[in-house]
Amino acid sequence: MTETIYKDDSFSLNNKISLRQLQALLFLEIFGFGVTALPRRVAEHAGQDGWVGVLLATGFIIIMTAVMTHVTKLFPQTSFYDIVGKILGRPLGALISLLFCLRLVLLAAFNLRIFAEITRQTMLPTTPFAVVFVSMLMIAAYGAAKGIESRARVAEVLILVVLLPLIFVFGISGRDIDFSNLMPVMAAPFESILAGSFSAFFAFSGIEVLLLVGPFLARPKHLTKSSTQAIVTIGIFMAVITAVTIARFGPANIVHQMWPVLKMMDTISLPGSIIDRQGALIMTFWIISAYATINAALFFSSLLLKDVVTRGKHSWYILGLIPIIALVAHWPTHMADVYTYFNLANRTLGVATMIVVPLVLFAVASIRRMGRGQA
Amino acid sequence: MNVFSELDKNIEYLEGLFADCNDLVKRKLPVGPSLDRWIYVIYFDGMTDRQVLEATILPQIMASGRKMPENFFNKPCSLLATLKEGGMTTADLREEADMQKIINVLMAGDTAVFVDGAEAAVLIATRGFPNRGVPEANIEVVVQGSNEAFTEVFRFNTALLRRRVKDPKLKMKHVQVGRRTLTDMSLCYLDDVVRKEVLADVEERIKNIDIDGILDCGALEEFIEDDYQSPFPQCQITERPDKAASAILEGRIAILVDNSPLALLVPAVVDSFFQSSEDYTQSWNITSFVRPLRFLSAFFALALPGLYIAITTFHPNMLPMMLTLKMAAARESIPFPAVLEVLIMEFAFELLREAGIRLPRPVGSSIGIIGGLIVGEAAVSAGIVSPIVVIIVALTGIASFAIPSYSLVSAFRLAKFLIIALSAALGLFGFWAALLIMIIHLASLKSFGLPYLFPFAAGDINGFTDFKDSIFRMPLIFMKKRPIYANPEQCNRMNEGKLGNVRQKE
Amino acid sequence: MGKHKGLKFLSKFGVVAVVLFVLLSFNWDRIELESRAFVVTIGIDVAKDDDKPFEVSMNISDTAAMEQGGDENPVVKRNASGESLAHAMGQVEAKISDKIYYGHTKAVVIGAEVLEDSDLLREVIDTLSRKNDINIKCIIMATDKTAAEILAAQPQEQGLLGVYLASFYNSNNANTASSVVKLDLEGLIVSLRAGQSAVIPKITLEGEGDEEEVTIGGVAVVRDFARVGYIDEEDMRGFLWLTENGAGTQIAIETESGHTTMLTSKSRARMDFYEEGGRLHCLARLNVEGSIEGALFMEEQLFDADNLAALEERFAGKIQGEMEDIFRILQKDFAVDGFGLKEKLRKKQWGLYQKYEEDWPLAYDEMIFVARVDLTIRNTGAVK
C-alpha cells in the first residue's frame, strides 16, 4: 500500500539508498576489519614505513573504484548478474556471479572466525565458538533480511558509535606514543614498501560490492565521486592508525602482536581513572565492524544467489547461507591456518573479483561501446 | 432508509429500535392553531443540554407552531420549513431525510424533530453532556507554559486547537470509525503545509479499519501504525493542545478521537519523543543542556542494568581496582547471582510502579516511600541484595522518568530485559548484540513513510536541517525551515527580518 | 485463519522468551564478582625442588574480610610451585576456593635467583605476555631477596603491595625520594627484544624483624636475559637525567657556605650521534630548570647574578658527572645498552646505523659519551 502512495519527492524511497548512505555502508564494511591486523602485516614487510604502503594501496584502490563505479554507472538500476550477462553473456554472468558469491561467503567466514578469535582472547575465553558464530550470524542475518534501506540507516547510526570512541581514544593517545618510532622515514627499500602495500590492498576486501549496488542507488550520478571520497577517508584513517600503532609499539615489536590495533586501544591509559582498561569497551568497535562486514557479505551473496536462481525471497538464501558460513569459519584449526587460507583466497579469488573481473568488464564494455543509451 | 411521511410510522420504527433504552426522551405534541398537527421530539437524556432545549427551543417550537395561520398548515412540508427557517433561535440545525443518519446524530446528543407528513426531520444541535471542563495537564507537566490539556469532549478539543491556530487552512476533517461506537474522529492539519501523500495514507489507513468499536487513541494507534509488533510507539500521543498545535504548524496531522483526552500526532520519529513543549518556552541554551541529558537518561534507562551485569560478571578489569574490590566485598554475602539480583530488583521496581498507578491517589505516595525506602533498606540490611544493585535499579528508574514520552519509556522497559538477558549470557558481546538488535529494529521502522530514526539516519533527505532541533536546540531564529514533516513547497516558516533590539546596531 | 494467525504470532514471542531463558541458564564465562580472587601482586621465585623450577607467591585481596570491616585492605597470601611458570600459577588456584583473576594485577616481583638464569627469565616474560588478562602496563620489580619474602612483608601504609607500588609511582615522590625508575611489562619486553638487556628497578627489605619494611631503590641490570649486577640509587640519578625522568629530582651540592639544594622543575634530554675519528660519539644535551630550595640563612649575596651563574655551573657540573658515571657503568662495567642507544641511532642516523649495526657490541663499547648540561635557576624562593 505504501509503495503506491509515496513517490519520488517523499521522505524516502523504498529499497533505494542515497550516496551518502552508501558511503557509510562502505566505511563500516571495509574499515573495521581491514584495520585489525593491517599494521602488523605492513610492518612485516616495510617496517616503520608501513603507513606509506597503506597510502600506496589506497591509491591503487581508488583506480579500481573508478573502474568499478564506471561499469555500475553504465547500467543504472541493473543487477550485477544482468550487467555481466549483457557484457559477457548469460553463462559467464552466472559463473561470475557465483564467483562473487563464493568470495563474499569466504570473506564473511574469515571475518567471523577472526571475530570469534578476538572475542575468545579478550572477552569470553571459554565460550564455545559455535555460540559466538551463531549469535553473530543471527544478528547479521536479521539486519540483512530487513533489506538495503534498513541496512543503510543502521550504518548511518553505527558509524557514529564506531567513530566517536575511535577518535576519542586516538586523540588522547598522544602522550603514550613515541613518534620517533616512525623514524627514519622512507628508509625501507621500495620493494618491501610495495610488498607491504600488496598486503594492505586486501585490507580493502569488500570493495567489490560497488559492482553490486547498482539496483539500489536512487541517483547514481555522482557515484564515482562519493565512493572515491569514502575510499580516501578509509585510506587516510587506515594510514593514520597504522602510523600511530607502529609508533606505539615500534616496528620491531609490532610484528609480535597478533592484532596490534586491539592491543593498542586496550592499553592506552586514559586520563583520570574512571576506566582501568578499556579493552572490553573498545570491543564495541570490533563487534560493530564484524557485524557490518558479515551483514554486507550475507546480504549481497544472498542477492547474487537469488538473481542467478531467479526465484524466492532473498531472506531464504540468507537462512541457507548461515550454516555454510559457520562451517567454513569453523574449518581451520588455529589462527595460523586461518591466515594461510585467507591469503590463499585473497591471492586467487580476491585478485579475480577485485582486479580482473572489474577490468575485464570495463574493457569489454568500452570496446563494445555499451551502456546507458543502448542498455 | 428514508423518513416516512406518516409520523406514526416513524414513531413506531424509532420506538422499536430504541426499545428498553430508558435514557431516551421522546414526546409527541400537537402544534398549529387548532392543535391538530403533530410533531415528535426525540433526544437522549444526559447527552443534550436540557437547559437550552427546554428553556428556549421547545417553547419556541410550540409558540411558533401555534401562531401560524391556518392556511399555511395545509402543506405538510411547510411546517417543517417554518420550524427550520424561523421556528428556533439557533443557527445550528439542518434538515435530514436519511433515517440512519438521524439515528447516528441522535446518539451523539442532538435532538430530532419529526413533523407529521414531512419526509424529513429537523436536527437541532443540542449536544451537551456532563464533562470536566478543560483539565490541567498531568502527564506532560511543564513549569513554564500553558497547562491546559485535552478533554474527553471532542468539540472542546477542536476548539482548543482552533484557538491556537486561527487559520482557515486549518482543516478538521471528520471521519467516523466503529460500527457500534460510531466514534467521531477528526484529522486536524494545515491544508497547504501537510504532505498530501501522508494525509492520503492516514485517511486510507483509518478508512480500512472495520471494527465494532474504538474507545480511545491507543487502540487507533495500534491499527494505523506501520509495525504493530514493535513495542516502540510510531505515533506520538499527547495530552497538550499546544504540542498538538505546534505539530500541526510543522505539517503533521493531529488525530482527535471523541471521548479521548489525548491527541495522536503522526508521523512521529524517535526524536519527537524527546521533545517537550517546555523546550521552546525556555531559553535555547538551557534546552540544549537538558536535551542531551534526556538522551543520556534514555541510555541509562535502557542499558544500565545490563551494563552492570556485563562488567561485573565478565570484565571487572574495566573498573578501577578499589571500586571492584569494594563491590566484590559488598557482594560477598549475597546468596543470588548478580543477574538474579538485578532481575528481582527490577521486577520489584516494576511492581511498585504498577501498584503506584492503581492505588488511590492519597495512598499512592506512601507506597513509594514504603516500597522504595523501607523494603529496599530492609533487603540490603538483610543481605539479600547488594547496595550497588539498589543504586543501579533506582538510577534506571529515575532515568526513565526524565524522558518526556510515556510510551517510549514503556518500550524501553521491555527492551531493558532483552539487554539484561543477553548481557548475562555473553557479557559485553551480548550487551552489544542486544543493542544491535534494537538499532536494526529501530532502523527498519517507518512512521508513515518517514524513517523512524530520522534525523540520525537518513538525515540527508532534509539537508540535515533537522539536527537544529534534535540533540541540541538552536535558537529559534536559526530554525527558519520547517522540519521534514512539512510539504517541501511550504518549508519556510520564518522570513528574514529584524529581530530583537533592532536599533542597537545602527 | 485469524485465530491461527494470532497463535502463530504469540508463539513467535514465546520462542524468543524461551531462547532468552535458555541463554540465562548457560554460563560459560560468567563469574560472580565475589567468586573471583583478585591477584594484586605476583612474586616469582626459583623453587628448591628440582622437578618444579618455579615457585609463585601471590597477594590476593581478601574481599570476604573486607566485607566484615576492620582491616583496610586485608590480603590473602598463597604460594605454589610448578613445572613451569604457567603450571605454578595454576597450582595456586588449587589452594583457594575462588577463581584466580589477573585483570587487576598491579605488580610482578621477580626473585633474585630467577634473574640469574636466562632460560627462566625468558619463560617468565613469555608466560606473562601470553596471559591476556595481565595488563602489559603492570609494574615489574626485581629484588635481591626472594620474591616471596617481599610479598610476605607489609609495606608501610598500604596493605596491598601492588597498590602501594602503583600509587608510589603515580604520585611524584618516586623521583624526589629515591630517584627510582619505573618499568612496566611492556617496557621490559620492548627493551629485551631490542637489545636483550634491561634495567629493572629493585625492591628490597630494610630493617630487622618486625621493623622490616619494603624499600624501592636502585636497579638490577640484565644482559642476555640474565642479571649482571646491581646499580645503587646514587648512581641511578644520571639514568633519570638521560631518560627524561629528571624533573622533580632534588640535588644538593656543597658550597663554601654550606649545602645548597635545588629542586628541578624541567628536564629535557636529547641524544645525538656523530662519527669522529672512526668512532661513534654520543652527545647528550640536557636542559634543566630548577629552583633553590634551601641554602644557608642570611647568605643574601648568594643570589647575586654572578653567584647565581657560578651556582648554576656547579649544579651543571654535578649533573654532568652523574650522567657520565652512569653511562660508564652501563657501558664498561655491564656492557648493557640501557638507554636503547641502538634504537635511537636507527631512528636518528640511518646511515651510521647501517654502518655500525653489524658489530654493535663493539661499537657500543668504543662509543664516546659527551654530555652537555644547560642549567637555569628560575626561582630562588620567597626569601630575599
Report the pLDDT averaged over residues B33-47: 83
For chain C, the distance separating the N- and C-terminal CA atoms, rounded to the nearest angstrom, is 100
Q: Does residue C210 surpass a pLDDT of 70?
A: no
Residues 6+ apart with CB under 8 A from C248: C172, C175, C176, C263, C264, C265
**Total number of domains constituting chain B:** 3
Per-position DSSP letters for C119-151, written without gaps between them: HHHHHHHHHHHH-TTS-TTSEEEEESS-HHHHH
Contacting chains of A (3 CB pairs or more, <8 Å) are B, C
Confidence grade of residue A120 (pLDDT, cut at 50, 70, 90): confident
Beta strand C99-101 pairing with C36-46: parallel
Which of C232, C247, C272 is the C-terminal boundary of a domain?
A: C232
Q: Are the beta carbons of B426 and A157 separated by less than 8 Å?
A: no
Q: Does the structure show a pLDDT above 80 at B159?
A: yes
Q: What CA–CA distance (Å, rounded) separates A254 from A263?
A: 10
pLDDT digits (tens, 9 = 90+) for A136-146: 999 999 999 99
B167 and B288 belong to one structural domain: no
From the candidates A150, A163, A266, which should be mutated to test the interface with B, based on the most B CB atoms within 10 A? A150
- Do residue A123 and residue B443 have CB atoms under 8 angstroms apart? no
Selecting from C21, C26, C67 the residue whose C-beta is nearest the C-beta of B332 gives C67
Contact B321 C101 (CB under 8 A): no
pLDDT tens profile B283-328: 999 999 999 999 999 999 999 999 999 999 998 888 888 888 888 8
A287:B429 CB<8 A: yes
> Of the candidates B75, B56, B442, which has an alpha carbon nearest to the alpha carbon of residue B269?
B442
Residue-level pLDDT at A356: 92
- Residue B236, classed as helix, strand or coil, is strand
Same domain, B196 and B260: yes
Of B123-127, B321-325, C4-8, the least confident: C4-8
Share of chain C above pLDDT 70, in %: 88
Query: Does the pLDDT of residue A10 top 80, yes or no?
Result: no
Q: Are residues B235 and B297 in the same domain?
A: no
Q: What is the pLDDT of residues B254-288, one digit of tens each?
A: 999 988 999 999 899 999 999 988 888 889 999 99
Specify the pLDDT at position B423: 92
pLDDT score of A363: 92
CA quadruple A348, A349, A351, A357: dihedral positive or negative? positive
CB contact under 8 A, C23 and B422: yes
Facing A267 at nearest CB: one of C103, C137, C348:
C137
d(C-alpha A163, C-alpha A171), whole Å = 12
Alpha carbons A43 and B501: distance in angstroms, whole number: 63
Q: Could A10 and B443 be called an inter-chain contact, meaning their C-beta atoms sit closer than 8 Å?
A: no
Name the nearest CA neighbour of C218 among C114, C113, C329, C125. Answer: C329
Better pLDDT: B442 or C181: B442
Q: Same structural domain for residues B250 and B330? A: no
Contact B425 C32 (CB under 8 A): no
Chain C residues close to B315, C-beta within 8 Å: 103
B439 and B298, same structural domain? yes
Could you tell me if B318 lies within 8 Å of chain A, comparing CB atoms? yes
Of the pLDDT bands very low, low, confident and very high (cuts 50, 70, 90), residue B140 is confident
What residues of chain C lie within 8 A of the CB of B421, using their CB? 20-21, 23-24
Distance from CA of C140 to the nearest CA of A (A): 16
Query: pLDDT at position C381, please?
Result: 62
- We report the CATH number of the domain holding residue C319 as 3.30.300.210
In terms of domains, do C249 and C124 share one?
Answer: no
Q: How far apart are CA C42 and CA A207, in angstroms?
A: 48
Whether residue C172 is contained in a domain is answered as yes
C61/chain B closest Cα distance in angstroms = 8
Tell me the pLDDT of chain C averaged across its residues.
Answer: 80
Choice among A303-317, B75-89, B101-115, B192-206 with the minimum mean pLDDT? B75-89
CATH class in words for A17-354: mainly alpha
Same domain, C212 and C245: no
- A200: its cell numbers: 594492505
Would you state the pLDDT for residue B504?
64
Query: What pLDDT digit, counting tens, does each position of B445-488 carry?
Result: 999 888 999 888 887 777 788 888 888 888 888 888 888 888 88
Please tell me the predicted confidence (pLDDT) of residue C138: 87
DSSP assignments along B4-58, one per residue: PSSHHHHHHHHHHHTTT-TTEEEEEEEETTTT-EEEEEEEETTTB-HHHIIIIIH
Statement to judge: residues B101 and B225 lie in one domain: no
Residues 90-149 of C with CB under 8 A from A: 103-104, 132, 135-137
B433–A287 CB contact, under 8 Å: yes
Interchain proximity C29–B314, CB inside 8 Å: yes
Chain C residues inside the 8 Å CB shell of A184: 346-348, 350
**What is the least distance, in Å, from the CA of B384 to any CA of chain A?**
28
Range of the domain at B187: 154-268
| Facing B458 at nearest CB: one of A143, A153, A274 | A153
Are C133 and B422 inside 8 Å of each other by CB?
Answer: no
Whether residue A4 is predicted with pLDDT greater than 50 in this model: the reply is no
- Cα–Cα distance for residue pair C303/C378, rounded to 1 Å: 11
* Residue A23 or residue A167, greater confidence: A23
pLDDT above 60 (res A147)? yes
Residue B461: inside a domain, yes or no? Answer: no
* Domain shared by B61 and B102, yes or no: yes
Determine the residue of chain C that is closest to B343 in CA distance: C24
In-domain check, residue C127: yes
pLDDT of B13 strictly over 80 = yes
B312 and B443 part of one domain: yes
Q: Contact B316/C101, CB-based, under 8 Å?
A: yes
Most confident stretch, A325-339, C259-273, C361-375: A325-339
C176 and C284 together in one domain:
no
Helix (H) or strand (E) holding A224: helix A223-249
Indicate whether C146 belongs to any domain.
yes
Dist CA C84 CA C89 (whole Å): 9
**What band does A2 get if pLDDT is binned at 50, 70 and 90?**
very low
Q: Choose the mutation target among B299, B440, B442 for the interface with A, i.e. most A CBs under 10 Å.
A: B440
Cβ under 8 Å to B: A residues 233-292: 273-281, 283-284, 287-288, 291
Question: Of the residues C232, C248, C272, which one is the last residue of a structural domain?
Answer: C232
Q: Do C193 and A253 touch (CB under 8 A)?
A: yes
Answer yes or no: do C226 and C242 share one domain: no
Residue B128 pLDDT: 81
The 10s digit of each residue's pLDDT in A149-185 is 999 999 999 998 888 877 877 777 766 677 777 877 7
Say what the pLDDT of residue C285 is.
Answer: 86
For residue C177, is pLDDT > 70? no
**Most confident of the ranges A92-106, A257-271, C11-25:** A92-106
Neighbours of chain C (3+ CB pairs under 8 A): A, B
User: If you average pLDDT over every residue of chain B, what do you get?
Assistant: 86
All residues of chain A having their beta carbon less than 8 Å from the beta carbon of residue C346 are 183-184
For residue B381, pLDDT beyond 60? yes
Q: Does B32 touch chain A (CB under 8 A)?
A: no
Residue in chain A lying closest to B448 (CA): A2
Q: Confidence class of residue A26 from pLDDT cuts 50, 70 and 90?
A: very high
Are C211 and C319 contained in the same domain? no
Q: What are phi and psi of C83, to 5 degrees?
A: -70, -25
Task: Measure C347 CA to nearest chain B CA, in Å.
Answer: 35
- Residue in chain B lying closest to C102 (CA): B317
Residues C164 and C245 in one domain: no
**At residue A68, does pLDDT exceed 90?**
yes
**B338–C32: do the CB atoms touch at under 8 Å?**
yes
Residues C181 and C281 in one domain: no
- Residues 96-135 in A contacting B (C-alpha not used; CB under 8 Å): 119, 123-124, 127, 131-132, 135
Q: Which of residues 185-204 of C touch A (CB under 8 A)?
A: 186, 189-190, 193-194
Q: Cβ of C34 and B332 within 8 Å? A: yes
CA distance, residue C3 to nearest chain A CA (Å): 24
Give the best-scoring range by mean pLDDT among A11-15, A219-223, C5-9, C343-347. Answer: A219-223
pLDDT at A271: 62
For residue A206, the distance in angstroms to the closest alpha carbon of chain B comes to 21
- Residue A273 CB neighbours (<10 A): 13
C225 and C283 inside one domain = no
Distance of alpha carbon B122 from alpha carbon B119, whole angstroms: 10
Cβ atoms C182, C191 nearer than 8 A: no
Instruction: Give the ranges where chain C is alpha helix by DSSP (H).
Output: 2-25, 63-67, 85-93, 112-116, 118-130, 147-152, 161-170, 173-178, 185-195, 233-242, 305-328, 341-348, 350-356, 360-366
Looking at residue B264, its pLDDT comes to 94
Number of domains present in the structure of chain C: 2
Neighbours of chain B (3+ CB pairs under 8 A): A, C
**C162 and C268: one domain?**
no
Domain identity same for B296 and B385: yes
Q: Which of B321, B332, B425 is facing C26, going by the closest CB pair?
A: B425
* Domain range enclosing C281: 238-379
Query: According to the model, what pLDDT value does residue A8 have?
Result: 47
* Same domain flag for C46 and C151: yes
> Which of B102, B124, B146 is where one domain is finished?
B124
Looking at the structure, do residues B253 and B341 belong to the same domain, yes or no? no
Asked if C19 reaches chain A (Cβ–Cβ under 8 Å), the answer is no
What gap in Å lies between CA A112 and CA A133, rounded to an integer?
7
Domain membership of residue C10 (yes or no) is no
Are B220 and B333 in the same domain? no
The residue in chain A having the minimum alpha-carbon distance to the alpha carbon of residue C354 is: A187
- CA atoms of C376 and C308, how far apart (whole Å): 9
In chain B, residues with a C-beta closer than 8 Å to the C-beta of A18 are 458, 460-461
Is B460 a member of any domain?
A: no
pLDDT at position A375: 41
**Is residue C260 one of the residues assigned to a domain?**
yes
Note whether B437 and B297 are same-domain residues. yes
Do C316 and C276 belong to one domain? yes
In a domain, B53, yes or no: yes
Pairs of CB atoms within 8 A across B/C: 88
pLDDT for position B73: 57
* B328 vs C20, C33, C106: nearest CB: C33
Q: Is there a contact between C193 and A256 if contact means CB atoms under 8 Å apart?
A: yes
- A-B contacts at Cβ under 8 angstroms: 134
User: Lowest mean pLDDT: which of B115-124, B327-336, C134-143, C288-297?
Assistant: C288-297
